Structure 1
Amino acid sequence: MKLGGILKLIEEMPAYRRLLADLRRRQRGTVDVLDAAKPYVIAALYRELELPLMVITAQPENARRMQEQVSAWCGSKRVMLFPEPDALPYQHVVTDSTTGLERMQVLSALAGKGNGDGREPLVIASAPALIQKVIPFNSFTSAWHTVEVGMDIEPKRLLQRWQAIGYEREAIVEVPGTMSQRGGILDVYPPTGEFPVRIDFMGNTIDSMRFFDSHSQRSLGVISQIEIGPAAGAIDGGGCILDYLPEEAMLIVDEGERLQNAVELLKDEASRLLSDRLERGEVVDDIPTPYFGWEELGPKINSHFRLVLSSWEPPDEGQLHKLDFTPATSYVGQLPALINKTKQMLKQGRRLVLVSHQASRLSELLAETKTIAAPVTEVVRVPPPGSLTLVQGLLTGGWTAGGNVHLLTDVEIFGFIKQRRLSKKRPMPRQMLYVDITPGDYVVHVEHGIARFAGVTTMKNKEIPGEYMVLEYAGGDKLYIPVEQIDRVTRYIGASDHQPAMNRLGTPDWWRTRKKAKESVEIVALELLALYAVREVAPGFAFSPDTVWQQELEASFPYIETPDQMAAQKEVKKDMAEAMPMDRLILGDVGYGKTEVAIRAAFKAVMDGKQVVLLVPTTVLAQQHHTTFSQRLATFPVRIEVLSRFRSPKEQQAIIEGLANGSVDICIGTHRLLQKDVVFKDMGLLIIDEEQRFGVSHKEHLKKIRRSVDVLTLSATPIPRTLHMSLLGVRDMSTIETPPGERLPIKTHVAEYDERVVRGAILHEMERNGQVFFVHNRVQSIDFIAEKIQMLVPEARLAVAHGRMAEGELEA
């Protein structure tokens, strides 16, 4: 998304023109501006001034949101986030190397090194990122060196030099900041490079160099030289990122007083951690301080040419520039009012810009009222007065500028903003999906059976080096599988957590196991074929096309749907539109969006006057689904109930009566829903979550229901027979393999139990308004542990939950 044409509209503000003139004369000042408009103003200044800019703000979430929004306005890859380290100084946790690499990329950009699009960088940093010391500027720049074809140098000298500036030696170069050697070939992956570099030596002379793909290890293109700088491992030192700003750069301070308070709080917490470690003798008294306090950062900030953004502070110096931005009007749940207001604004000659992930749907709704606006992803020219611009994209808030320019986003239109994370990672090839198999895991080879994965090794086959998976079988046998045949190996998935018996190579054990499984599958297949033969001729209900409310529900989803999610939704709707009863399995990992597909299907059924039943294996899961369904359908006249042990007998009886008379639209519950006293007036859709966790009698009851009602099954871990029959086409299946858009990986830190670490982790999560789950393995002592945690973090609100609690206590 590029909105350069809309950026130019700010020039119509007299206050902005005065601000721009002052900045060009290098005069400091303060800008009074609405929070939602800050990214717009920063992007406009970045475009006009053509200077290196650095924005500093108090909280990490503010910095990330600012970077995403300014990038959306500019459409430039040079808008960079300077991330904060994973831990405060002196914390006992293992940090993520990715953060160090990203910090190194920002330092390189400010120092004029590495790749770019020719523009000066715009860097955004939070207080935790700002206080951490980095490699001094002079040491950083002197560590850069050029490697070129024809250079005379021993390979080991290059390796030593790279090791000195933070590169780690690995068998294979796959991630930035690593290097490797295989004879006369050196591989190195600079943090600033998009691809690693392979250097071929002829003796001690560099014969050729080329980029290669880190996943496939294939060559991509020949190069003659490359600049190599420090890696993430070399970031320790006494330098400050502010020292990297060129003399002509401008510093933008977002809410200066909040920034100062955040820095002082971080310093106090780090000082407390240091005192604790000094008391335990874990550090020496004269250890260098790895962070800056405000007494050091304040003068550094004041020494730079700077601009302060504030929505409430008086100017500390220079001119106060008040920009005429006001909050946008909200139209949540009032789409007809929005359409009418749109027509009114256009007649009045105002400019209206709608930025939405649902731009296509908005275009269709507007077209029904003869207001034509085609969605675009780029706005190059200034929109004329009396125009409507519909942009496909994401912004986190709208505003009105000068009373003549109105920006509305998904926040004002639907009440939600589609959540996403920007990522520089390229999609991995399919074979990389197997990297979650770790040494020690049990795996299954399609021809040789169950084994234990021992790792990956490098071997030569006919003098050609290659990578092989090592599989250990019973009796100490080993099998080496070329990585090209990795598709023949899958993770072992058993019905319980017990360790499986491994097969022996060269014996018929695995063949006999496969034969028994095949016979069992054939029996199940015959049963299912009989069931599906009945379904083929059974009368079903053909659901109607989507309603306007259906479109509003789907538009209000606060995340970006993945392609697999959209495909599954399309397949479900197609099945529901047919007269034959649906029986579809939605297969996907936890958090991949199965529930949203189920919610949309349930709402579609309710819109046709049908009742929906969601069957789950546990009471807690029923309560979770009830909360999710209630939140998503809160703005619609849909009655949702949950039938479980959390409900009193009187409440259960009222729900059962509601199911019988049709007043309950959606009912969520456990196997209680399958009992004889539960009768439905007109059930049209049955949704089953994790069917394999129900008992035999329950499944027999479900077989009868399947003959006449649409059934949608959700599963993250389907039983092998269900999956196998689905693949044979007897049962329809939709797979959701794509994780949510650039979902961040889970970070795991391993450390000795330390109350100070626990307190620090809890406070860190509370600072970002998050929640913490402390998992304990004994019900008998859980209350004692809870008391310790409460004493450790008295500022936290604490609750205890376990499986032996009474219904009322657990529900509360």
Structure 2
Amino acid sequence: MHKNNDHRFAHQLIEKYHDSDTSLCIVVKDSKEAKLINNELSLYLNSENINYFPENEILPYDHFSAPDNILSDRFSILNSLDKEKKIIITTIKSLFELYPTKDFFQSKETFNLGDSLSLNKLEKILISLNYEKVNRIEGINQYSLRGGIIDIYTPIYRNPLRIEIFDDSVESIRFFDLETQSSIEKSNNFRLSKSSLYTFDDHSLKIFRDNWREYFQEYDERHCEIFQNLNTSRKAEGSDIYLPLFFSKTSNFFEIFDSHSFIILDNFDDEIDSYNNYIQQRFDDENIDSQRPLLSPNDLFCSLETIKNKLPQKSIWDFNIYEDFNYKDIDELVNDVDQNKLEKYKIVLITSLQSEYETLFERLKPDIKEIKNISEASFGINLMISDIVRPIHMKDKLIIFNNEYKQDSNLIFLETQERKSATHNRDQLFSDGDYVVHENYGIGIYQGLEVVETNNNSNEYMKIMYSSNEALYVPLRSVDLISKYHKNDLTETIKLDSLSSNKWLKNKEKAQKRAYDHAAEILDIESRRLESTAFVLRANDEDLNIFNKDFPFKETADQLEAISAIQKDIALVKPMNRVLCGDVGFGKTEVAMRSAFVAINSDKQVVLLCPSTVLSEQHYESFLERFKNTGASIKLINRHTSKKNKDSYVKGFNDKNIDIVIGTHALFTCGINFSNTGILIVDEEHKFGIRQKDLIKSKQENIHILYLSATPIPRTMNFIFSGLKEFSFLHTPPSNRLSIKSFLKIETNQLFKEAISREVSRGGQCFIVQNNIGKMNSLKNQLSKLLPDIKIDIAHGKLKKDEISNVMRSFDTGSLDVLICTTIVEMGLDIPNANTMLIIDSQNFGLSQLHQLRGRVGRSAKQGYCYFLTPSPELSKIAKNRLDSIIKLCNLGSGFFIAQEDLEIRGGGEILGEKQSGHINTIGMSLYLSMLKNAINTFKNNDEKEFINTEINFYDSSYINDSYLPSPVERLKIYKNLNNASSINDINNISEDLRDRCGLFTNEVQNLIDDSKLLVMIKNTGVINIKSNSSKTSLLLSANINKSVFENILTLVTNKPNIYSINKENKFVIELSEDNSSLRRKTVIKLLNEII
């Protein structure tokens, strides 16, 4: 074993750290080495005292900028320089960069509770620090302003800040959760740091302009897009090439960390020379564009001489204190302990998995001690949780062993700070210019929210334009009457309805009749399914708890909710029919495994159906690992299974000797008997053809079925919308996961070269999807000529089983840099180190397929990149819409919304069949589905409920001011939430959230909240509306007034006729003389509490 590939350094580094008066800076070769050193140091030292200063993950003279998470981690470290003694770990590449001077990174002044500070001043500070203003914070280096509250996500804190300012004073400082946007913790002060290497204040911009013009005198700045963006205070991708021009003086890495003692773990002269040559090569390759002039390497990077002079000349380690490590596994080590060969040794067993930890503890107790730090180790066997480390055997009788470490395995460096990512939250709201449908008036164009003044009172309305330039102003109370218009894509143009015509009502009536016919067809299918019965599946609580504990990660709230819903479903005789939707990597498989365990624990069997051989093999390996402590018998049947084994497995399953069988659609034709099957799990159903789906249907009437999908097919979406299938949605991404940066590009050699080089230079790997097998070898040859040092191989479905397995294994272990493959990688592969994908001829793929492919990258804390390549910019309308959508929908958790977007592109005929497509064109898909759902409910309940348009009017202003919540989209969300509230508790939760996010209510917002409470209170009581002016208040009563409510009203009228009465118009009148409308509301709320 090479000397810098073992654990020895950490032990001696800790000694040096404790002996030193200064912080240490350890320079290693690459990020893999940095990961291991970080983990190993953490065995001895608190992780807060160890920081990895990450590589910027871009190429010299790159067209990209460093990912935000990298910059944030760097800022966090640089902001706390010299505050306490630490160990910094970095790589050779970081030494070559130039940086602003040290004081640039120090945080600004500290602000305390009660300090004098105006919102205007704080916003100016944030703008000068280059924070981006957004409607809602979704990432680092952003701020959002609402009412008297400003949200800020600065790199120096784990969670974003919420600052409440009242009367130019800091009234409250809170941290909030990025996902829920709710406050979670109070603070007495806060600090701000710069959010970027660029500051766009006047002084910095002048330095940049002057330096650029001086350096590039021969170039026309008008032709340089990056210059124009930076000159107008706009961030520009690839602007790192001009970083030194923003400063009068820059610093190198050694000047930034001048208080640190530098240590190298090996002689890196060859690597340093090689990277220096690479910088020059990149300069020569890129210095050909007159619209993108480049600084010379001497001006953009630290010089080779400086780096070599500043680094120590040699490693100074004592290797005589170590023994060779000869143990292959824990069993060998424990065996030597049992035979007293390791008497008076301190042996530390390490695992990163909680389940493995508990297994080892149970196996070795009572002769084992649990520790949290190496310093706690005593003679004998010790056990601790840690990330992967290398083994060590010291002559002073200390052995550290980690069963998970493999020398050639890929290791991913986790972020030093765990940061949440904002999930994709795409409510079906409207943007200006969207086509919308009003249930009563038809198709129009949404033109935003508008405040309209009537009778000296202002309120907010939705403005919708119809034909002949007719405008309709819709009260926000009626927002649920409006939906987005989705048409069949074959329709060329969208014709607006007229407010002065009844044509819309006739079209709506026809669609309503068809919806009732369609509802009857759906319920006929459901009734046949309900006539059959499935097995009742319930697991032993103790067994289930043990199985749950074996899961090495913390479940997300979505997973727990889905698990609970599924376990309730399968505990009933009614066959479950549920769709579990969630993006790749969001935890669908674990949810399915929990349901599978319940089935086998109930003495029933499980069938897992996969659409591809590769995915079936991936699931087989995953299930074997997850169920290894359960004693479950699991077998795999696919095209690679020999006939002998297949016959054996079928017999074993039919004889109930096999618990779980996993395979492709071959499972339905090989003689499998489903009579004892408790649950059928169908993964990625959209990949099955019509014939296979018919086979699935033939088995589904008396079996619980769980469908797993990232992007449900249109027919499944129809069943979800109509209520025929139950639905669970996993929308919470794994911690530290980043949205994948997606690009639509023309295919070129230069793009291949840059994208692959960028990924490989940061220790990663690339997928290249070429779905034409005949072109794969020529592409491999082409790339080998471009990048002769890159290791490339090919994988496709026509290779033999052993060939595919060998290639996949090589890629998985990191022996390959690039895998050229067909869409066989679309499902199942989980390679966290592969974070760049290039998809050739992307215009030929479906939207869901593109999303699935993209999900193969970005599965770690590293920034993922996906290039959708086309041979030319000329694309069909449908292909362009598809590619525009995949670029737009790149947020985490967007799979379900990709499916919805797919409906818009494919059109309604595919989701509901040709019978319905004409009606969808006429009234829009959203309204048709709403009609369908109402029709199904009517049939089920034998009751068609009359829609009553309730109204609350106190003749004053009742809305959300744009100064209180500037974003129209966010305001529209609040209006919809208030309209959908079903209880006072719901209203209170919404108002508390609004108060938390936006500050003290304005009078208008308080009125809106009170009106919402009144609407909830009178719902289903028979009170149609409430109107109140300064002299009189009335409640209009319907003929179907609730009996007890009416009796209570009569009691009031009888007992206090001078105050209460009922007039001829069936209005309950209250003589209430009060100019203050807020007080009138309070009075009416109190009255309703008495009579309802």
Q: What interval of TM-score do these two structures reach, taking the shorter chain for normalisation?
A: 0.5 to 0.7
Deviation at 1:364, TM superposition (A): 6.0
1:250 paired to 2:257:
no
Q: 1:253 to 1:103 in 2, by over 3 A?
A: same
Deviation at 1:298, TM superposition (A): 1.5
Deviation at 1:796, TM superposition (A): 3.9
Higher mean C-alpha displacement, 539-548 vs 698-707: 539-548
Deviation at 1:135, TM superposition (A): 0.6
Which secondary structure state, in structure 2, belongs to the residue aligned with residue 102 of structure 1?
helix
Deviation at 1:756, TM superposition (A): 3.3
Which secondary structure state, in structure 2, belongs to the residue aligned with residue 587 of structure 1?
strand
**What amino acid sits opposite 2:252 in the alignment?**
C
1:391 paired to 2:384:
yes
Q: In percent, how many aligned pairs have the same letter?
A: 19
**What amino acid sits opposite 2:285 in the alignment?**
D
**What amino acid sits opposite 2:257 in the alignment?**
L
Verify the 8 A CA contact 1:33 1:322 in the aligned structure 2: no
Which secondary structure state, in structure 2, belongs to the residue aligned with residue 763 of structure 1?
helix
Q: What's the Cα RMSD here?
A: 6.2
Verify the 8 A CA contact 2:351 2:402 in the aligned structure 1: yes
User: Partner of 1:371 in structure 2?
Assistant: 366
Verify the 8 A CA contact 2:283 2:296 in the aligned structure 1: no
Equivalent residue in structure 2 for 1:300, among 295, 299, 310: 310
Spell out, residue by residue over 1:300-320, the C-alpha distance to the aligned partner (whole angstroms, 9 max, x if none). Answer: 224xxxxxxxxxxxx937674
Alignment of 1:108-147 (within 5 A): 108-110=79-81, 112=83, 119-137=84-102
**What amino acid sits opposite 2:414 in the alignment?**
R
Alignment of 1:700-715 (within 5 A): 700-707=694-701, 711-715=705-709
Deviation at 1:775, TM superposition (A): 4.2
Equivalent residue in structure 2 for 1:82, among 38, 43, 53: 53
User: Partner of 2:327 in structure 1?
Assistant: 329
1:277 paired to 2:286:
yes
1:102 paired to 2:73:
yes
Which secondary structure state, in structure 2, belongs to the residue aligned with residue 269 of structure 1?
helix
Higher mean C-alpha displacement, 743-752 vs 472-481: 472-481
Distance in 2 of aligned mates of 1:776 and 1:408? 43
Verify the 8 A CA contact 1:211 1:219 in the aligned structure 2: no
Distance in 2 of aligned mates of 1:418 and 1:58? 14
Which secondary structure state, in structure 1, belongs to the residue aligned with residue 350 of structure 2?
strand
Which secondary structure state, in structure 2, belongs to the residue aligned with residue 623 of structure 1?
helix
Alignment of 1:125-524 (within 5 A): 125-137=90-102, 166-167=130-131, 175-177=139-141, 190-193=154-157, 195-196=160-161, 207-208=169-170, 211=173, 216=181, 226=191, 228=193, 231-234=196-199, 236-237=243-244, 238-247=250-259, 249-257=260-268, 260-281=269-290, 282-283=292-293, 289-302=299-312, 316=314, 320=318, 322-324=320-322, 327=325, 329-331=327-329, 348-359=343-354, 362-363=357-358, 366-367=361-362, 371=366, 378=372, 382-386=376-380, 388-402=381-395, 404-411=397-404, 421-422=414-415, 424=417, 426-427=419-420, 433-434=425-426, 520=518, 523-524=521-522
Which secondary structure state, in structure 1, belongs to the residue aligned with residue 55 of structure 2?
coil
Equivalent residue in structure 2 for 1:535, among 533, 539, 543: 533
Which secondary structure state, in structure 2, belongs to the residue aligned with residue 239 of structure 1?
strand
Deviation at 1:740, TM superposition (A): 3.2
Distance in 1 of aligned mates of 2:597 and 2:137? 50
- Number of aligned residue pairs: 731
Spell out, residue by residue over 1:118-169, the C-alpha distance to the aligned partner (whole angstroms, 9 max, x if none). Answer: x33332212222221111236666x956778999999989877766665556
**What amino acid sits opposite 2:389 in the alignment?**
T
**What amino acid sits opposite 2:620 in the alignment?**
F
Q: 1:601 to 1:161 in 2, by over 3 A?
A: closer
Deviation at 1:699, TM superposition (A): 4.3
Alignment of 1:531-570 (within 5 A): 531-536=529-534
Deviation at 1:256, TM superposition (A): 3.2
Verify the 8 A CA contact 1:616 1:670 in the aligned structure 2: yes
Deviation at 1:290, TM superposition (A): 1.8
**What amino acid sits opposite 1:122 in the alignment?**
I
Alignment of 1:714-753 (within 5 A): 714-718=708-712, 735-748=729-742
**What amino acid sits opposite 1:87 in the alignment?**
I
Verify the 8 A CA contact 2:174 2:187 in the aligned structure 1: no
User: Partner of 1:6 in structure 2?
Assistant: none
User: Partner of 1:59 in structure 2?
Assistant: 30
**What amino acid sits opposite 1:192 in the alignment?**
I
Asked which structure has the greater CA Rg, the reply is 2
User: Partner of 2:949 in structure 1?
Assistant: none
**What amino acid sits opposite 1:662 in the alignment?**
G
Higher mean C-alpha displacement, 80-89 vs 751-760: 751-760
Q: 1:513 to 1:79 in 2, by over 3 A?
A: farther
Equivalent residue in structure 2 for 1:792, among 780, 786, 796: 786
Stretches of structure 1 that go unaligned for 5 or more consecutive residues are 1-30, 113-118, 303-314, 463-467
**What amino acid sits opposite 1:243 in the alignment?**
E
Deviation at 1:760, TM superposition (A): 3.0
**What amino acid sits opposite 2:277 in the alignment?**
D
Verify the 8 A CA contact 2:151 2:161 in the aligned structure 1: yes
Deviation at 1:562, TM superposition (A): 5.2
Verify the 8 A CA contact 2:609 2:665 in the aligned structure 1: yes
Q: 1:372 to 1:443 in 2, by over 3 A?
A: farther
Deviation at 1:59, TM superposition (A): 0.8
Q: 1:622 to 1:606 in 2, by over 3 A?
A: farther
Distance in 2 of aligned mates of 1:151 and 1:604? 58
Distance in 2 of aligned mates of 1:479 and 1:375? 71
Q: 1:606 to 1:150 in 2, by over 3 A?
A: closer
Stretches of structure 2 that go unaligned for 5 or more consecutive residues are 200-239, 245-249, 455-459, 808-1092
Q: 1:398 to 1:533 in 2, by over 3 A?
A: farther
Distance in 1 of aligned mates of 2:442 and 2:36? 47
Which secondary structure state, in structure 1, belongs to the residue aligned with residue 98 of structure 2?
coil
Distance in 1 of aligned mates of 2:307 and 2:475? 55
**What amino acid sits opposite 2:279 in the alignment?**
A
Equivalent residue in structure 1 for 2:587, among 589, 593, 597: 593
Deviation at 1:92, TM superposition (A): 1.9
Deviation at 1:526, TM superposition (A): 4.8
Q: With structure 1 as the length reference, what TM-score do the two structures score?
A: 0.68
Which secondary structure state, in structure 1, belongs to the residue aligned with residue 768 of structure 2?
coil
**What amino acid sits opposite 2:351 in the alignment?**
S
Q: With structure 2 as the length reference, what TM-score do the two structures score?
A: 0.53
**What amino acid sits opposite 2:28 in the alignment?**
T
Verify the 8 A CA contact 1:588 1:716 in the aligned structure 2: yes
Q: 1:517 to 1:787 in 2, by over 3 A?
A: farther
Q: 1:703 to 1:172 in 2, by over 3 A?
A: closer
Verify the 8 A CA contact 2:753 2:786 in the aligned structure 1: yes
Q: 1:69 to 1:200 in 2, by over 3 A?
A: same
